[in-house]
A and B are shown apart, each in its own frame.
Chain A
Amino acid sequence: MMNSLKMNRRRFLGVSGGALAAATLGSGLGQLRAAKSEEDLSRFQKRGKKEYIASNCAMCVNKCGIIGEVIDGKLHKINPNPEHLKSRGMLCAKGNAGASLPYSPERLKKPLLRTGKRGEGKWKEISWEEAYRHVAQNLARLKQKYKNRSSVAFASTEGLQEEFFYYLVSGFGSLNTVRHPTLCLSTNIQGWSSVYGVYPDADLQNAEFVVMIGSDRAQSFITPDSVDFQRFKPKGQTLVYLDPRFTETAAKADKWFAVKPRTDMAFTLAMLYVILEEELYDKTFAKRELHGFERFREHVFANGYTPEWAESKCEIPADEIRWTARQFARHAPRSVIYPGRRSSFYAHEVYFRQTCAMLTAICGCWDVKGGIVPKSSVPLSSHTPLFPFFYDVKERVDKEAVGIVKKVVPSVVDCPLVGTGLPEDSCAFLSERDGSWITFREAVLHDEPYPVRGFVCFKQNPLQSVPNTAKTLQMLEKMEFICVIEQQMSDTAWYADLVLPHSTYLESWDPCHALSGIWPVVVARQPVIQPLFNTRTMFEISRGILTEMLKIPELWDDVEAEALEDFKKTVMQEILEQPIQKYMQHQLKDYPGGYERILEKGVLVPSQKPNYGKTRQNGFRFKTKTGKIELFNERFHKRGLDPMPSYCEPLRPQKEGEYRFLVGRTAWHTHSSTQNIPHLWEIMKENAVWINTAEAARLGIHDGQYCRVTSKVGQQTLKAYVTEKIRPDAVYYVNGWGRLSPGMSLVYKKGGSEAEILEDTMDSISGSAAMHETYVTIEKA
């Protein structure tokens, strides 16, 4: 990559003019095409055979459109895809930096089998055939030993290849799967779904009044929202932003309120109070669509959720709360209280998210232009793989381990959360596939209700993503077999017995996927470059492991013969043993020319038009118990939970000098997966703990000085960033540093890890980790 300009320089001596590349990418700059001939600028051109290949990004969850610019077979740059409606033709820092991934000297290239102790870093390279056999034999061994397929757990995170990981899971038959949502957005899903039955989007392009609470959209990128909220911000739109930190989003906001952590709900309840008391709500909509409106109004009034009451909790002036509520109602239905993405903040979070959904409901800002809009999708033809029914299977541990919640949620059993409507035995609403990471791990640690001794992990890194690393390490120690499928030597891979190298998204065929939203599109991936090493995709890895599994009779002794034959035919022969392109063609069979188009353009955009109003048609039934928009939640009521949101006091520091620890993001990193990429690493080589200027002065801490940050569960040492940008009662640092794996050499033991100090507190309605419930002390190192 680095020598292309040098080549220009040499050629400059002999070549004039030079052929211009044929490709012109929709920039509307045709008039600039012709360089003045008397100025020989051709020396600046990049020589070589250029190809432009459309695909989609995988540096985070958004799947934005990319065009790989390949020069002489080498990926030179990744450009944004102007046709990708969801990503609005942009590409962020991470998306750009993806171009170096295939060439990283630290990427995994061959299957590695551990030869030393776990975490010692001694490996032996083995062939893929040996690796597949090794996995199959270990799965068989654990299944025989425990007579329970669920004794092996499978962890994964989202991505286009994840569905093939689930082919492996279903072919083995474990019910213990655990995914990322309970570290991310499951409280948001539960909270909004409790009112509407779905988790919706916000129409930031058309909203007149926007309230964002703790969603730092300027740094934590979600497309199209991170683009829309500034690029297409309509004239006159007002953005009100609540965050204990002055983030980049706060810098863009018309008003920033440095809300006291864990009291956001006092703010939203008081907004509801003002709107109800002053009768500013949408009366027609309330009458027609809302279930439990009167009871809810009574509830808010009876509890006295006035702005003055709220000010005493959240430290936002009552007149500002009143102003926000009135503006919200005045601009309705073009008012947004932003649902956001990651919402794993507090142990009571579902109720806070429920209040946001209710504000939307009473003002009628639902499913209209400029409001909150349920997602639309693009239907794809599905395959019908038939997986066997296995007899030796027990129910998931996080569902069955009754009473485990008390062990992991001290805040639930300790004052002041007692009797605040949170379940204490088990999580109220678990998604079957997602599970609950915190509950799952606790159940495994206690062997409740049975032992889990195998762990197969696809691209997740629980040692950095799940609060309380010490417990995750203990969990891994219990395992008799750990297999990690990864691109890089993540912390979790470092502690594995077998590491399988996955191809990068730039070398991979990935199946089609509909990205739902107000502007739904379909994406897929094709190789931008040919694979550089002997890596495989999950599609190929599942085929390889399942093929070896079929050679071991013990793995199929609790299956009906007919079911096994169906599996061989519908899963192996018809899908995994076929080229993946056939799978993709089938997905798009209802779109004539769709497959060719997605290869050419990288994306299928059925319509440029936003989708509004499908739930506003007469007779529409919401996916709630009553079929209406519920302000009184019947499902919660039936489960013995509070059917309506009630404020509960936050946990307080237990001793003098404790600060609430906050979690957040930068725009150039995705969780713990991108810190070892040089182009991103150089932007901020170490993380630093934010501490308010006055507090730092009190503690004698100077900017840039190393500090120890200590919680109940861990301690990290990192630099201080002394700033006015954070409340005096909170501290913060970003995720991704303080790494355990020497295979992430740029950040190995550099800076501080979040997961190491986060307590494993939980919201027990959704099973979500509560990542802003940890108190820490800070002192000079």
Chain B
Amino acid sequence: MSQQRYAIVLDTRKCLNCKACTVACKFENDVPVEDEAYRIWVTEMPLTGRFPYLHQEFQPSQCQHCENAPCEKVCPTRATFTTEAGAVLVDYDKCILCKACMVACPYDARFVSLEHKAVEKCTLCIHRLQEGREPACVETCPTKVRVFGDLNDPKSEVSRLLGSSNSYRLKPEKNTRPRLYYVT
């Protein structure tokens, strides 16, 4: 068993819908300016109520780094793999662009990258983690909606947050067991 279990804990109540994370991600990961090309996003949840009684939430999201990842299961060439710490990654060399993973992903987290000639998605900024740096979205966020860390470390901020708050994961009915937790 790995010494580490990566997770991101998100407190969407702090989200300003400012798009700092999405722009940072594009620069960090060389994702081009294209409508279909993005690794992370901020959803403006439906506005509820009638003027002047209104409510709206903003939900940043991305690849959920599922422990039970449907994208990995359907990949015919095993291009998609999970690291021991739990990052779900794509080996661009092995990807044959069959797009089965794009269909399988319940979170619409994947897209075709012309740069990589492969399907790509959030890597948890695995290249930054290797240098001891946080994912770009986590680092740049003004209000620190996202916290990244190790669930196996009981002293980590992610462990503390999950221990002290209620949380949910997206689309639990899919039994994907994401490593992204949303606290309430």
Measured CB to CB, the residues of A under 8 A from B are 1-6, 9, 12, 20-21, 23-25, 27, 29-33, 35-36, 39, 41-46, 76-80, 88, 90-93, 95-97, 99-100, 218-219, 221, 226-227, 230-231, 246, 248, 250-252, 256-258, 667-668, 678-683, 692-693, 723-728
Question: How far, in whole Å, are A227 and B83 apart by their CA atoms in the complex?
Answer: 34
Separation of A310 and B127 alpha carbons in the complex (Å):
58
Q: Chain A residues near B52 (CB, 8 Å)? A: 246, 256-258, 727
Smallest Cβ distance from A317 to chain B, in angstroms?
11
Q: Which residues of B in the span 65-108 have a Cβ within 8 Å of any Cβ on A?
A: 83-85, 89, 91-93
4 tightest CB-CB pairs across the interface, nearest first? A667-B18, A231-B143, A218-B16, A258-B52
Nearest CB to that of A46 among chain B residues?
B127
In the complex, how many residue pairs between chain A and chain B have their CB atoms under 8 Å apart? 188
- Chain B's closest residue to A252 (CB) is B16
CA A78 to CA B49, docked complex, whole Å: 40
B2 at the interface (CB under 8 A from A): yes
Please measure, in the bound complex, the distance between the C-alpha atom of A701 and the C-alpha atom of B34, giving whole angstroms.
30
Residues A27 and B24 in contact, CB atoms below 8 Å apart: no
Cβ of B23 within 8 Å of any chain A Cβ, yes or no, is yes
Q: A221, B18: Cβ atoms under 8 Å?
A: yes
Q: How many residues of chain B are within 8 Å of chain A by beta carbon?
A: 59
**A29 surroundings in chain B (CB, below 8 A):** 129, 132-134, 148
Given A218-B18, A231-B142, A248-B17, answer yes or no on A32-B129 (Cβ-Cβ < 8 Å). Answer: yes
Q: Which residues of B contact A (CB under 8 A)?
A: 2, 4, 13-14, 16-20, 22-24, 26-30, 32-35, 47, 49-52, 54-58, 83-85, 89, 91-93, 115-116, 123, 126-127, 129-134, 136, 139-144, 148, 150, 153
Contact A27 B139 (CB under 8 A): yes
Q: Which residues of B contact A96 (CB under 8 A)?
A: 20, 23-24, 27, 140
Q: Are A251 and B55 in contact (CB under 8 A)?
A: yes
Measured CB to CB, the closest approach of chain A to B143, in angstroms, equals 4
Contact between chains at B30 and A4 (CB < 8 Å): yes
Closest to B42 in A: A683
Whether A36 lies near B30 (C-beta < 8 A) is no
Is B47 touching A5 in the complex (CB atoms < 8 A)? Answer: no
Cβ contact within 8 Å between A667 and B27: no
Chain B residues contacting A23 (CB-CB under 8 Å) are 131
Q: Is the CB of A20 within 8 A of B130?
A: yes
Main SS class of interface, A:
mixed
Question: What are 30 A-B interface contacts by the 8 Å CB criterion?
Answer: A2-B30, A23-B131, A24-B133, A25-B133, A29-B132, A29-B133, A31-B4, A32-B132, A32-B150, A36-B84, A41-B130, A44-B130, A90-B20, A90-B140, A93-B23, A96-B27, A97-B23, A218-B17, A219-B16, A230-B16, A246-B51, A248-B16, A251-B54, A251-B58, A252-B16, A679-B23, A680-B23, A725-B51, A725-B54, A727-B51
Of the candidates B32, B55, B130, which one forms a contact with A33 in the assembled complex, judged by CB atoms under 8 Å apart? B130
Query: Which of B55, B57, B143 sits near A230, CB closer than 8 Å?
Result: B143
- Among B29, B84, B132, B142, the one with the most A-chain Cβ atoms within 10 Å of its Cβ is B142
Chain A CB within 10 Å — which of B18, B22, B32, B56 has the most?
B18
Residue of B nearest to A680 (CB): B23
Dominant SS among interface residues on chain B: loop
CA distance A92 to B140 in the complex (A): 7
B49 contact set on A, CB distance < 8 A: 724
Q: Is the CB of B142 within 8 A of A226?
A: yes
Q: Are the C-beta atoms of B141 and A250 separated by less than 8 Å?
A: no
Contact partners of B85 in chain A: CB under 8 A: 36
Q: How far is the CA of A230 from the CA of B141 in the complex (A)?
A: 12
Q: Chain A residue with minimal CB distance to B123?
A: A44
Q: A91-B24, A92-B140 are in contact. List 13 more A-B contacts (CB 8 A).
A: A5-B92, A31-B4, A32-B150, A33-B131, A41-B126, A44-B130, A79-B139, A92-B20, A218-B17, A226-B16, A667-B17, A679-B23, A683-B22
- Residue contact A32 to B92, C-beta cutoff 8 Å: no
On whether the beta carbons of A44 and B127 are closer than 8 Å, the reply is: yes
Interfacial chain B residues near A230, Cβ < 8 Å: 13-14, 16, 143
B30 touches A92 (CB 8 A): no
Chain B, Cβ-Cβ closest to A259: B52
Closest beta carbon of chain B to A105's beta carbon, Å: 13
Which of A12, A25, A44 contacts B126 (CB under 8 A)? Answer: A44
Among candidates B27, B29, B134, residue contacting A99 with C-beta atoms closer than 8 Å:
B27
Contact A692 B51 (CB under 8 A): yes
Give chain B nearest CB distance to A83 CB in angstroms: 13
Task: Check if A251 sits within 8 Å of B136, measured CB to CB.
Answer: no
Name the residue of chain B whose CB is nearest to the CB of A682. Answer: B33
CB A172 to nearest CB in B, in angstroms, measures 41
Q: Which partner residue on chain B sits nearest A43 by CB separation?
A: B91
CA distance A246 to B57 in the complex (A): 12
CB distance from A43 to the nearest CB of B (A): 8
Q: Do residues A724 and B140 form an inter-chain contact, with CB atoms below 8 A?
A: no
Contact (Cβ within 8 A) B93 A1: no
